[in-house]
Amino acid sequence: MPLDTGRGPLWRVTLLKETAQLTCDHKETLYKNTLLFTFHHMISDALSIFEFLKKLVEFVGLLYYGEPVVVKSLPFRPVLEDTMQHLIGSGPSIWEKISTAAAFNSRKLKVALCSPKPRNPYLSKFHSRISSHSVPQKTYVVPRNMTKEETTALTRCSKANKCTVHGAIMAATHLAISQLLFEGSNKDFKNPLVIDSAYTVNVRKECQPKIESQEFGVYVTFDSLQIKIHSSSVSTRESFWDFACSCTREIHSRIRHLGSHRNLLKLFQCVNPETVCALSRFNADHGLYRELFNLTNLGSLSIDPEGKFPYRFAGSHLAMQSAKINYAIGHNIFTVNDRLYWTVEYSPEVTSKFQAEKFVDLSLRILVDACTP
């Protein structure tokens, strides 16, 4: 059932399954429980949900030992737009408002006048069935993970090659999508191939007042980028790491020097969010949407690493109801207790489960091969 934003509650939990097995000495029964948490995005981003999981493990551990649990209401925090005012300005100028509205209208005029209609040639490779009259949209997930040894190897190799883990993952996903786009074709992709994608940026450290990691709220934004892929990028292990380093430099440049991840917040100052969402839907309906996938990387996190509590965290997969965010596939990645968890989210109106699985499995294989001596 949809969450009622007017009445609440804006989060809920469901127990999906429970299995049990005896330990080797047959003196203790171990239970495996899967909990499905649903949060409305207006109160929580992915990092907030993870902090909630940490607190849950702590609380149930205290209850197990008979210790008191004190649950306090979280204080309301300022919204992202207010905490970023010192970086995005107090408001758009009249010229910015006019130019933004003109850009939106010119997009619609282009579609009306062009024949044949403009299409993103890469999106046509997906089984897209998006239309304003499509069936009610849903988001499905494909869960994957890397072993602790594979995750350690990825971290070690990234450091040895002077790039970030995020850069390595970005390189693998872009190489995977380029291979899938031309799979079965007799033609090689043009050199270089330009892939449009998007990534999520955590801006807590940029906020004033600073927002701590354990505070609930939506303190992320998005940025779009174009990555150039040369056919030589997949020829050798060394060329992969060269490409991963270039991806790392691109991200660092956009965030640290250009501040381009703030453009979305500036856009919301010029045009209300409803209009931005309407344009996104318009782009999808007319084949103008450019980003093939989104990458969200929460980084390295941990839950009870010292084993203080009797309940163990066996992994987590995060996904957002992304049917109205019309990139073909979304990737949500983070490491927990030195093990990488990777969730692919997709809408059946955009692509198929087969394509989503193929994408993530190829991305993982590229990473594992690059870290294998």
Q: What is the pLDDT of residues 160-197, one digit of tens each?
A: 999 999 999 999 999 999 888 877 665 666 677 888 89
Query: Model-level pTM?
Result: 0.86
Per-residue confidence (pLDDT) for residue 40, from 0 to 100: 86
Tell me if 222 is assigned to some domain.
yes
Question: Do residue 40 and residue 154 come from a single domain?
Answer: no
Tell me if 260 is assigned to some domain.
yes
> Which has the higher per-residue pLDDT, 276 or 78?
78
Per-residue confidence (pLDDT) for residue 102, from 0 to 100: 79
Question: Do residue 18 and residue 110 come from a single domain?
Answer: no
Which candidate, 141, 122, 139, 128, places its Cα nearest to that of 349? Answer: 128
The answer on pLDDT for 367 being more than 90 is yes
The answer on pLDDT for 22 being more than 80 is no
CATH code, domain carrying 196: 3.30.559.30
Question: What is the band of 76 on the pLDDT scale with cuts at 50, 70, 90?
Answer: confident
Question: What is the band of 145 on the pLDDT scale with cuts at 50, 70, 90?
Answer: very high
Question: What is the band of 286 on the pLDDT scale with cuts at 50, 70, 90?
Answer: low
Domain interval for residue 18? 11-64
Buried b (16+ CB within 10 A) or exposed e, 298-313: beebebbeeeebebeb
Tell me if 196 is assigned to some domain.
yes
Tell me if 176 is assigned to some domain.
yes
Tell me if 309 is assigned to some domain.
yes
Question: Do residue 225 and residue 362 come from a single domain?
Answer: yes
Tell me if 337 is assigned to some domain.
yes
User: pLDDT averaged over the chain?
Assistant: 83
Question: Do residue 214 and residue 326 come from a single domain?
Answer: yes
Question: Do residue 31 and residue 121 come from a single domain?
Answer: no
Ramachandran bin of 162, using left for φ above 0, alpha for ψ from -120 to 50, beta for the remaining angles: left
Least confident interval from 57-71, 276-290, 339-353:
276-290
Look at the chain and report how many structural domains it folds into.
Answer: 2
